[in-house]
Structures are given as structure tokens and as C-alpha cells.
């Protein structure tokens, strides 16, 4: 085992896959000589050259289209979005091309494409740089979507995504890159469709993902001290949602809370609530509780920004109200 930063875990995944397969390459803005905004590709250009660590102009729709075309011909591109919000400029390519071409070509083309980069609400980055876009992309057919939350799952998920034959979006949170933890020395892969049971309990199921995992775990310390025993699930896979893991927990607890950073309207929680209410309503002893960010552009002001995001105290209070 070794203890490394999350951004280094991602870098290791890319490096290992590029060594093993010459068809893997990375494309994006400032990823080469600069090493990427969060240093995920630092020094890789000196090892693999400027054609496999390919710096691009500021033209997301163009280099996304180029990467999709490369994937169609048998290459395995990794597209880094300097900020995931900027990839809205390539939404047409991601939706109408990456998501659909395998289907609309009758299976003649595969799209082994990885789209990854920083997202989520940082610290006073402003509205356009502080968006949670997972719900934007969730409705696109043909995509797989995962959100890493630890150095361990960041590396394992990225390696699996690179080897997958379908387009995969990996969401990395801008405030988790400097998170440090242990990962195995040996090579490993993680499934792209499974949630992680972070803590097993019996009183309530709390489902979360990405940075909110840590807000939930801060709340858990208080809840356990007050006599509560929560079950904690890190979704990881946002499309498809591992509903079976949630239901297996719900069979034990009969109470469900979802904590997310994305917007309340049309968010990941909304989809989970719909699926549970449609198919597993009888397991519930109370309505599902949802804690989400407010439906407003993220304020630049630090206090206002903090106020719009779910915090551990809110989680603790919501659990106590739900289980009262």
C-alpha cells in the first residue's frame, strides 16, 4: 500500500494504461507542457510526446468531436475538461455523437471514450466554474457516468473507464484533488456500475456521492455519538444507478435520505426517489428525505456559497427529524 493524492492516483491510472496500450491518448487544454490545471497529466508529455498528450486550442466542441472520431477508428481518447462546465460547449458532440453513434450505426462503431475533469462547487470560483453537471448528462442515452470520491476509487474507476468500449464520463470534484489516502501497489480495477457500502448500520440509509461523502461522514460521527446507527452508501455510479445496493440497505433500515451537491430540481436524488417510489415503495416507513444544493447560480460571496451547500449540521438535524 502507498499513500498518495487523488490527482496522483488519476495520473497513475492514465500512465499505466498509456504504457500498456499505444492507442490511449489524452487531449485537452493545457494538459501537456503545463501539466493540466490540477496536475493530473504533469510530466506525461515528456514521457509520451506531444501527439499522445495533445494540447488543444480553446475549442471544446472541436476537440470533443475529434476525440469521438478517433474513438470510432479504434483509438482510446481521454478528454480532459479544464472545468466540466466548459464541456457544455461540446454537449451536442457528447449527446448526438458519443452517446448515440454505437446505436445509430447498428453497432458498427464503438466509442471507447473517457471524458474527465474537475467539477462541483469549489471555493469562490464563481457561478460558471461551480456547477454540478451530472444531472445534465444523466439523461443522455449511451453514456456511463461515475463520480470518484477517494484516491482508491479514482484510480480503479479511471482504469476501468479507459478499457470500456463505451463512452464514460468521470466526474472529479475540484476540492478532492488534494485528498490523500492509501491505494494498493498492485494493479486493480473497479466496476463502473456498483455503489460502495461505506458504513453498515440499521437505522437509516444515507445515499451520497463525491464530496458530500465527507460531509455525511462528519455528520455520522455526531449521529453515532447520539445513539444512531446509519447505513452509508457512496453511489459512485450515477448512470446506471446501482439501485439494488440501495434497496438491500433499505430492507434493513426502512428509511432513506439522499445527500447531494447538485441542484434539487432534476438532480440525481430525484431519479433515485422516482425509482424507489415506483418499485420499492413498500420498504419505506417514511417519505424519502432529500438534501440538495439550492436552485440558484452559485454565489461568489463565500458566506452565501457556503449557505447554499448541504452541511453536516443539516444532515444531522434531518436524520433526527426523520427518525423522530
164: three-class secondary structure by DSSP: coil
- Report the largest interatomic distance among the alpha carbons of the chain, rounded to a whole angstrom: 61
Alpha carbon of 97 to those of 71, 91, 143, 282: distances in Å? 11, 10, 11, 40
Number of helices (H), then strands (E), belonging to the chain: the values are 12, 14
Angle between helices 243-253 and 268-279 (to 10 degrees): 60
Is 129 tagged catalytic?
Answer: yes
User: Helix, strand, coil % (nearest 5) of the chain?
Assistant: 40, 20, 40
**CB atoms closer than 10 angstroms to residue 42:** 15
Is 196 tagged catalytic?
Answer: no
193: three-class secondary structure by DSSP: coil
Cell matching residue 34:
503545463
Do the Cβ atoms of 3 and 181 come closer than 8 Å? yes
Q: Which of 17, 29, 60, 260 is catalytic?
A: 60
CA distance 14 to 280: 39
CA distance 22 to 164: 15
CA distance 272 to 118: 24
Question: Residue 25: in which H helix or E strand, if any?
Answer: strand 24-28
Phi and psi of 132, rounded to 5°?
A: -105, 105
Q: Which of 129, 134, 260, 261 is catalytic?
A: 129
Cα 226 versus chain centre, distance: 31
153: three-class secondary structure by DSSP: helix
Whether the ω angle into residue 240 lies within 30 degrees of 0, i.e. cis, is yes
Please list the active-site residues.
Answer: 60, 129
Amino acid at each position: 500500500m502507498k499513500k498518495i493524492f487523488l490527482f496522483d492516483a488519476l495520473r497513475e491510472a492514465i500512465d499505466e494504461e498509456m504504457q500498456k496500450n499505444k492507442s490511449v491518448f489524452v487531449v485537452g487544454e493545457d494538459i501537456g507542457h503545463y501539466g493540466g490545471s490540477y496536475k493530473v497529466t504533469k510530466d506525461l508529455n515528456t514521457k509520451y510526446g506531444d501527439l499522445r498528450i495533445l494540447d488543444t486550442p480553446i475549442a471544446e466542441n472541436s476537440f470533443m468531436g475529434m476525440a469521438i472520431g478517433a474513438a470510432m477508428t479504434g483509438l482510446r481518447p481521454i478528454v480532459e475538461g479544464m472545468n466540466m462546465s466548459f464541456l457544455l460547449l461540446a454537449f451536442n458532440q457528447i449527446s448526438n455523437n458519443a452517446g448515440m453513434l454505437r446505436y445509430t450505426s447498428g453497432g458498427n462503431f464503438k466509442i471507447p471514450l473517457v471524458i474527465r475533469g474537475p467539477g462541483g462547487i469549489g471555493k469562490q470560483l464563481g457561478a460558471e466554474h461551480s456547477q454540478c453537471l451530472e444531472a445534465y448528462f444523466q439523461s443522455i442515452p449511451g453514456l456511463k457516468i461515475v463520480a470518484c470520491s477517494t484516491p482508491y476509487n479514482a484510480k480503479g474507476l479511471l482504469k476501468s473507464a479507459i478499457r470500456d468500449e463505451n463512452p464514460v464520463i468521470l466526474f472529479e470534484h475540484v476540492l478532492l484533488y488534494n485528498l490523500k489516502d492509501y491505494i494498493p501497489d498492485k494493479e486493480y480495477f473497479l466496476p463502473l456500475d456498483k455503489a460502495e457500502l461505506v458504513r453498515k448500520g440499521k437505522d437509516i440509509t444515507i445515499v451520497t456521492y463525491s464530496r458530500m461523502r465527507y460531509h455525511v461522514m462528519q455528520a455520522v460521527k455526531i449521529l453515532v455519538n447520539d445513539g444512531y446507527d446509519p447505513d452509508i452508501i457512496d453511489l459512485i455510479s450515477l448512470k446506471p444507478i446501482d439501485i439494488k445496493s440501495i434497496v438491500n440497505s433499505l430492507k434493513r433500515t426502512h428509511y432513506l435520505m439522499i445527500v447531494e451537491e447538485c441542484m434539487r430540481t432534476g438532480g440525481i436524488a430525484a431519479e433515485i426517489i422516482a425509482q424507489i417510489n415506483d418499485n420499492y415503495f413498500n420498504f419505506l416507513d417514511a417519505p424519502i428525505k432529500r438534501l440538495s444544493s439550492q436552485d440558484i447560480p452559485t454565489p461568489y460571496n463565500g458566506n452565501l456559497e457556503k449557505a447554499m451547500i448541504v452541511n453536516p449540521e443539516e444532515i444531522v438535524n434531518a436524520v433526527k427529524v426523520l427518525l423522530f
